[in-house]
């Protein structure tokens, strides 16, 4: 047998030996012969037995490392993958447009060019107003390349041209996530155009470059900061000094008063909604109902108010409202009745 090299095998030799490493780690099923060879190795090659033992001990000790298991999310992720695949547009085959005659193609192109031109002209001369419908989300790139993700039933407006003499300003109704391009490098000398100001329900938020979420619904405005630093002022109450927020800070205003000021464990959760699906973490049914009303335009009835206090622990991550309702009725002792297209009734019992 050509196994004489094993007579003086160093630790490094063992660790370089693919067969040994695979066997020691139990990574693959070994054929019985290979397994027997390594198991009886110390007897067969006593001079290398000490190194064998040390190499084996190292691999075994290394393999006691922590592993990440999220098996509870395995099925959930597969259904998300499945949903995305089903949503993918089927690529149109060229055969479908064959019926178009050449002159029609030219006409269509001309029409398209004219329409684009018209749209471009309009865009150049106008103040930008972008509004989303129920159930719709939009990603907007501002003139300075800052990115805003606008949630459903919300609107954002701003001047379409930003010059260097005025600050960058936007006005928000509803909810949006901001990722602001950072222009200023020298915090001691901030030029006007380097300032970025969000106005929402009597609150102004001033930033340099940062990412944060603003939500103004039902007379309340809440702001959560993910990265950077922002200054928040409430114009309804000038006695109160401006608040400077640091990453993870979360504040909520209701009219003149500051309702809450807290530190979030996972501020990045604030932007969960910017992804496609409907996401909730440890939400009460009340919060879910508000979202159904604010973002999807449903009218909701409940048979008593206690029902709104019910909690769904953990994370809900679904593709659409129907799936959300299924989750609610399977996890809580609650029945949902869709009496018309946009009207829901929640009541206790199955």
Partner 1 sequence: MHAADSHIIWWNAFKQGDWEAYTALYEEFYAPLNNYGAKFTGDTDQVHDAIHDLFVQLWTSRNNLGAPASVKNYLFKSLRTMLFRKMQLQSKLVNLDGAISSGSFNVTFNQELPLKVEEQELRMQVAAMISQLSDRQQEIVFLRFYEGASYDEIADIMGISTNSAYKLLYKALENLQRILSKRSFALLCCILLQGEIIFKFFPDSEG
Selection from 252, 242, 249 nearest residue 225 by Cα = 249
331 lines the binding site for partner 1 (CB under 8 A): no
141 binds partner 1 (CB under 8 A): no
- Choose between 15 and 197: whose C-beta lies nearer to partner 1: 15
With respect to partner 1, which residue has the nearer C-beta, 73 or 191?
73
**Piece of 1-9, 186-194, 222-230, 253-261 that binds partner 1 (CB under 8 A):** 222-230
Residue 228 found at the interface with partner 1 (CB under 8 A): yes
Question: What is the C-alpha separation between 138 and 295, in angstroms, rounded?
Answer: 13
The pair of three-digit structure tokens given for residue 100, joined into one six-digit string: 């178009």
Q: Is 85 in the site for partner 1 (CB under 8 A)?
A: yes
Q: With respect to partner 1, which residue has the nearer C-beta, 79 or 116?
A: 79
What is the C-alpha separation between 243 and 225, in angstroms, rounded?
12
Binding segment for partner 1 (CB under 8 A), chosen from 35-43, 59-67, 148-156, 298-306, is 59-67
Neighbours of 151 (CB within 10 A): 22
Residue 176 · residue 211 · CB < 8 Å: no
Contact 197, 180 (CB under 8 A): no
Place of tokens 């609610």: 328
One character per residue 245-284, x = contact with partner 1 (rule: CB under 8 A): -----------------------x---x--x---------
In the list 13, 42, 59, 264, the residue contacting partner 1 (rule: CB under 8 A) is 59
Rule CB under 8 A: is residue 191 a binding residue for partner 1? no
62 binds partner 1 (CB under 8 A): yes
CB atoms under 10 Å from CB of 44, counted, come to 13
Q: Which of 315, 309, 345, 339 lies closest to 327, judged by CA?
A: 315
Token couple for 192: 């006007």
β-sheet bridge partners, residue 244 = 231
Among 72-80, 192-200, 294-302, 332-340, which window interacts with partner 1 (CB under 8 A)? 72-80
Dihedral sign (CA 226, 230, 231, 237): negative
- Binds partner 1 by CB under 8 A, chosen from 1, 43, 68, 241: 68
Nearer to partner 1, 43 or 72 (CB): 72
Token output for 297: 């335009």
Q: How far apart are CA 249 and CA 233, in angstroms?
A: 15
CB 20, min distance to partner 1, A: 10
Output the smallest distance, CB 73 to partner 1, in A. Answer: 7
CA 172 to chain centre: 21
Q: In DSSP terms, which residues pair with 257 in a beta bridge?
A: 254
Nearer to partner 1, 70 or 92 (CB): 70
Strand-pair partners of 197: 169, 206
7: Cα separation from own chain's centroid:
57
Among 175, 179, 201, 294, binds partner 1 (CB under 8 A): 179
Confirm or reject binding of residue 15 to partner 1 (CB under 8 A). Answer: yes
* 46 half-sphere exposure, CB direction, 13 A CA radius: 1
Stretch that binds partner 1, among 114-122, 136-144, 177-185, 338-346 (CB under 8 A): 177-185
42 binds partner 1 (CB under 8 A): no
The verdict on 22 binding partner 1 (CB under 8 A) reads yes
φ, ψ of residue 314 in degrees (nearest 5): 85, -165
CA distance linking residue 65 with residue 61, whole number of Å:
8
Could you say whether residue 67 binds partner 1 (CB under 8 A)? yes
Q: Which is nearer to partner 1, 165 or 187 (CB)?
A: 187
Which residue stretch of 79-87, 97-105, 118-126, 162-170 sits at the interface with partner 1 (rule: CB under 8 A)?
79-87
Interacting residue ranges for partner 1, rule: CB under 8 A: 11-12, 15, 18, 21-22, 25, 27-29, 50, 54, 57-59, 61-71, 73-74, 77-78, 80-81, 84-85, 88, 179, 181-182, 209-211, 227-229, 268, 272, 275
């Amino acid at each position: 047998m050509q196994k004489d090299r094993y007579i003086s095998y160093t630790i490094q030799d063992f660790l370089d030996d693919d067969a040994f490493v695979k066997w020691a780690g139990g990574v693959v099923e070994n054929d019985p012969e290979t397994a027997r060879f390594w198991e009886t190795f110390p007897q067969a090659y006593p001079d290398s037995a000490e190194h064998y033992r040390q190499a084996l001990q190292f691999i075994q000790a290394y393999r006691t490392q922590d592993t990440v298991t999220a098996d509870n999310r395995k099925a959930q992720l597969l259904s998300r993958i499945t949903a995305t695949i089903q949503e993918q547009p089927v690529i149109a085959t060229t055969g479908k447009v064959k019926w178009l005659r050449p002159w029609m193609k030219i006409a269509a192109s001309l029409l398209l060019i004219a329409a684009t031109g018209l749209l471009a002209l309009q865009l150049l001369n106008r103040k930008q107003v972008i509004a989303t419908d129920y159930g719709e989300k939009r990603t907007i790139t501002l003139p300075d390349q800052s990115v805003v993700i606008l949630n459903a039933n919300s609107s954002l407006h701003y001047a379409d041209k930003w010059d260097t003499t005025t600050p960058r300003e936007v006005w928000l109704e509803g909810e949006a996530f901001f990722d602001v391009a950072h222009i200023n490098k020298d915090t001691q000398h901030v030029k006007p155009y380097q300032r970025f100001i969000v106005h929402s329900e009597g609150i102004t938020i001033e930033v340099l470059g940062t990412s944060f979420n603003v939500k103004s619904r039902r007379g309340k405005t809440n702001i959560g900061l993910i990265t950077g630093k922002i200054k928040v002022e409430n114009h309804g109450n000038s006695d109160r000094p401006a608040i400077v927020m640091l990453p993870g800070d979360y504040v909520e205003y209701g009219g003149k008063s500051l309702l809450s000021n807290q530190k979030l464990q996972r501020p990045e959760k604030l932007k969960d909604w910017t992804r496609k699906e409907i996401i909730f973490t440890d939400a009460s049914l009340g919060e879910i109902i508000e979202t159904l009303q604010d973002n999807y335009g449903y009218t909701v009835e409940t048979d008593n108010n206690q029902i709104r206090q019910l909690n769904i622990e953990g994370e809900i991550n679904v593709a659409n409202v129907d799936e959300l309702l299924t989750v609610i009725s399977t996890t809580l002792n609650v029945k949902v009745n869709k009496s018309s297209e946009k009207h829901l009734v929640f009541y206790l019992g199955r």
